[in-house]
Chains A and B, each alone.
Chain A
Amino acid sequence: MDVMPKWAEVILVPLISLILAAIISALVILAIGEDPIAAVKLMVSGALGSTYGWGYTLYYATNFMFTGLAVAVAFHARLFNIGGEGQAALGGLGVALACLYIPWPHWSLALLGAIVMAGIFGAIWAAIPAYLQARRGSHIVITTIMFNFIAASLLNYILVNVLRPRGSMDPATARFPEGTHLPTLHDVLAPFGISFSKAAPANITLLIAVLACVLVWALIWRTRLGYELRAYGHSESAAKYAGISPFKITMITMIISGALAGLMAINNVMGEAERLVLNAVEGAGFIGIAVALMGRSHPFGVFIAAILFGFLYQGGAELALWTSIPRELIVVIQALVILFTGALDNMVRMPLERMFLAARRARAPKPERKPVEPAE
């Protein structure tokens, strides 16, 4: 029996971890001589105060939903995929190839094509480390890290030597043709009479990210594969005994995970930049780790955590613009969230468990201590 009620496990523990991370972040801001309260106000007004701010917040959140889901799926099979950064970069390459070399008649078809290409490219980049782990025994954490570096070099090479248009100095592809431009949230919401900022980059990919959350939930808790995946994550030996192939689960999990990370590219490459630039992922792959940890590897949790990090990202950009706080503050906050919700989880959990245990003892009657009626 669990010591804590479900609501405490799902809401209280992450909330306390988050508050601890926030307190330390505030101390960091104080230490570099800025006012944390003013900083929070600026972040809120910059990220949530206008549809323009919301447009950026949701744009970043879309990225983090994909990378967060990627890490979360792997977590369920107890695989730690740190390679989201490289997988998303390769996904970008897939999207660029799909958009540049196929004449799409309509954006909806282009979107489907880009989804397939982004997924395949991301999946391949995750499948190699998965194969090396499953068959050659090289540790997936190390290989996925190496594949991040290799992806960065590969993209650099391809952008400079292959995909760069003639005469351009910029290491980037040409602009994608008109037929591949995705509708922004402004275009999506306009028919409903909602006016949304035209300049903000949030686009229809947000809906795909939400759909991905639902599909991942269904996959993990409503399919046989999801059951096998979780069983493998809980106990490898028990899963083997039940006839589940570790090789198969490792491969499939990482392929799904890599494809999800790759899908991020339809948002940042196709939806926002409309061309592939150098370092397009901008650390979103790593933020996925924080998002998955904070969301307790549950798709709904990932959704909420992604929006929170979208807010932090956009708010942090505003901070860097208006104050002397550099953007790296976000990296610090991200580290603190990973630290408190991931590594120091027990620090928050143990005292809470003790509290709930004590509360339950106080409430429950103690049958064996009943006063015995004295015999007359």
Chain B
Amino acid sequence: MDFLTLIQLLDSTVRLATPLLLACLAGLFSERAGIFDIGLEGKMLAAAFFSAAVAAVTGSVWLGLLAGIAASLLLSALHGIASITFRGNQLISGVAINFLASGLTVLIAQSWFQQGGRTPSLMGGGRFTPITLPFADAVADVPFLGPIYAELISGHSILVYIAFAAVPLTWFVLFRTRFGLRLRAVGENPAAVDTAGVSVVGLRYAAVAICGVLCGIAGAYLSTALQAGFVKDMSAGRGYIALAALIFAKWRPWYALYATLLFGLFGALETRPDVITALTGMRMQGQLLGALPYIMTVIILAGFVGRANPPRAGGEPYVKER
């Protein structure tokens, strides 16, 4: 495998890791506040559809992004009502949200565009286009560092840079602000937060809302940057892989970055069977390669996580003492 192939592989790793990273950070906010969310998948899917649909109709990808975030926020609100206000089972609520998104997107897509549950292909201003960072063309010929800067770091859409910037931002918000401290506390011991006179319900809704915004960006990235338009069930299990990455990362932002990059690499390898053949000397069947990210997830979760300490109050609704 030569250097250029490696750069290409890493380049597509970054592309595929971006939606996972955004969804993983989304789950991080939610689960750190004690709200399990397996509805990441559904929120991404809904956001993917609405951003593609609005971008297709208006021709503006930014309006599309807003619509995607709004759709994702709506589902987040539903999850909040079910699991915070009515203290329902958070896993079941997440499952319901996933099916709701999976069914409604096709239903609405068919009703609006009559193209068999997809949106029209996005063109021009309807997509997030790659950004060429300054001097990328100038340094492209420099050996080693040139291609890394020009091919790997430059030339992604703005959402990729937003996703990577979200990692230090998440770390800062969670570990260096008062809001973050309270948010983590509400996931560990909500009764203590309540005693301190801070609203448990308010904090949890805030966390779920942040989760909605990040999932919205992730979904918009899928349909307006990674691909050009929405197709049925295009999130393809990414929400679940993001959840697995979250566990692998032990609910920490920087580890989330590494975990999602690893899963992104699995995804990138899936599209390059020639690289695997070159590396291992074996020919892999395409169908089995498709299962690679999932198999790796199971192996990682089973063996390498070590002691993963989830937020202690995760999944449990908070009932105020009377």
Q: Which residue from A139, A328, A343 sits with its C-beta under 8 Å from B88?
A: A343
Do B107 and A28 touch (CB < 8 A)? yes
* A170 shortest CB reach to chain B, Å: 15
Chain B residues positioned under 8 Å from A286 (CB to CB): 95, 99
Complex Cα–Cα for A132 and B305 (A): 12
Which B residues form the contact surface with A (CB < 8 A)?
38, 78, 81-83, 86-93, 95-100, 102-104, 106-108, 110-111, 117, 237, 240, 243-244, 247, 285, 287-288, 290-291, 294-295, 297-298, 301-303, 305, 308
Interface residues of A (CB under 8 A from B): 28, 31-33, 80, 82, 132, 136-139, 141-143, 145-147, 149-150, 152-154, 156-157, 160-161, 286, 289, 293, 324-326, 328-336, 338-339, 342-347, 350
Given A132-B298, A338-B92, A339-B93, A32-B99 contact (CB < 8 Å): no
Most buried by A among B82, B92, B98: B92
B240:A142 contact, CB within 8 angstroms: yes
Contact B247 A342 (CB under 8 A): no
**A329 → chain B, closest Cβ, in Å?**
6
- Contact assessment for B91 and A335 in the assembled complex, using a CB-CB cutoff below 8 Å: no
Alpha-carbon distance A212/B161, docked complex (angstroms):
54
Question: Closest approach, in angstroms, between the C-beta of B115 and any C-beta of chain A?
Answer: 12
C-alpha spacing A272/B296, complex, angstroms: 35
Q: Is B240 within 8 A of A339, CB to CB?
A: no
B82 and A157: CB pair below 8 A? no
- What's the least CB distance linking A331 to chain B, in Å? 3
Question: With A328-B103, A331-B103, A339-B100 as given contacts, are A141 and B88 in contact (CB-CB < 8 Å)?
Answer: no
> Which residues of B sit under 8 angstroms from A333, Cβ to Cβ?
103
Q: Does the CB pair A342–B302 fall under 8 Å?
A: no
| CB pair B88 A153 closer than 8 Å | no
Q: Are B107 and A80 in contact (CB under 8 A)?
A: no
List, in ascending order, chain B residues with CB within 8 A of A325's CB: 107
Assess the B301–A132 pair: CB atoms within 8 A.
Answer: yes
B237 (CB) vs chain A CBs: closest residue: A149
Contact A339 B288 (CB under 8 A): no
Is the CB–CB distance between A346 and B88 below 8 Å? Answer: yes
In the complex, residue of chain A having the shortest beta-carbon distance to the beta carbon of B291: A153
Q: Nearest 7 A-B pairs (CB), nearest first?
A: A331-B103, A343-B93, A153-B291, A335-B99, A332-B103, A342-B92, A335-B100
28 sample A-B contacts, Cβ–Cβ < 8 Å, listed by A number = A31-B111, A32-B108, A82-B95, A132-B301, A136-B303, A138-B247, A142-B243, A142-B247, A145-B240, A146-B240, A146-B297, A147-B294, A150-B298, A154-B287, A154-B288, A286-B95, A324-B111, A326-B110, A332-B100, A336-B96, A339-B96, A339-B97, A339-B100, A342-B92, A343-B83, A343-B88, A346-B88, A347-B86
Q: For B298, give its contact among A143, A326, A343 (CB under 8 Å).
A: A143
Minimum CB distance partner of B307 in chain A:
A137
Are A335 and B96 in contact, CB atoms less than 8 angstroms apart?
Answer: yes
Chain B residue nearest in CB terms to A337 = B96
* Cβ-defined contact, A343 with B287, below 8 A: no
Which among B90, B107, B108, B237 has the greatest number of chain A C-beta atoms within 10 A? B107
Q: How far is the CB of A77 from chain B (nearest CB, A)?
A: 15
Chain B residues closer than 8 Å to A338, beta-carbon distance:
92, 95-96, 99
Q: Which residues of A contact B110 (CB under 8 A)?
A: 32, 324, 326, 328
A74 to B133, CA, bound (A): 53
Q: Provide the bound-state CA to CA distance between A326 and B106, in Å.
A: 8
Question: Smallest Cβ distance from A193 to chain B, in angstroms?
Answer: 42
User: Residues of A contacting B294 with CB < 8 Å?
Assistant: 146-147, 149-150, 153
C-alpha gap A149/B244 in the complex (Å): 14
> Bound complex: CA of A62 vs CA of B296, how far in Å?
35
A residues less than 8 Å from B83 (CB atoms): 343
- Cα–Cα, bound, A344→B111 (Å): 28
Q: A145-B38, A328-B107 are in contact. List 12 more A-B contacts (CB 8 A).
A: A32-B110, A136-B303, A139-B247, A142-B297, A145-B237, A146-B244, A161-B285, A326-B117, A332-B99, A342-B93, A343-B93, A345-B88
Q: Which has the most chain B C-beta neighbours within 10 Å: A136, A150, A161? A: A150
Q: Is the CB of B86 within 8 A of A350?
A: yes
Enumerate chain A residues within 8 angstroms of B98, measured Cβ to Cβ: 335
| A136–B240 CB distance below 8 A | no
Contact, CB under 8 Å: A346 / B92: no
**Docked-complex contact B291 and A32, CB < 8 angstroms:** no
B99 and A326: CB pair below 8 A? Answer: no
User: Whole-angstrom distance between the alpha carbons of A286 and B102 in the complex?
Assistant: 12
Docked Cα-Cα span, A43 to B106, in Å, equals 20
Given the known inter-chain contacts A139-B247, A161-B285, A350-B86, please indicate yes or no for A331 contacting B92, CB distance below 8 A. no
- Report chain B residues within 8 Å CB of A142: 240, 243-244, 247, 297, 301
Question: How far is B38's CA from A344's CA once the two chains are assembled, in angstroms?
Answer: 16
**Which residues of A lie under 8 Å from residue B302 when comparing CB positions?**
132, 136, 138, 143
A343 touches B96 (CB 8 A): yes
Of A137, A145, A333, most buried by chain B (CB within 10 Å of CB) is A145
Cβ–Cβ < 8 Å partners of B96 in chain A: 335-336, 338-339, 342-343
A157 vs B289: C-alpha distance when bound (angstroms)? 10
CB-defined contacts of B287 to chain A, threshold 8 Å: 153-154, 156-157, 160-161
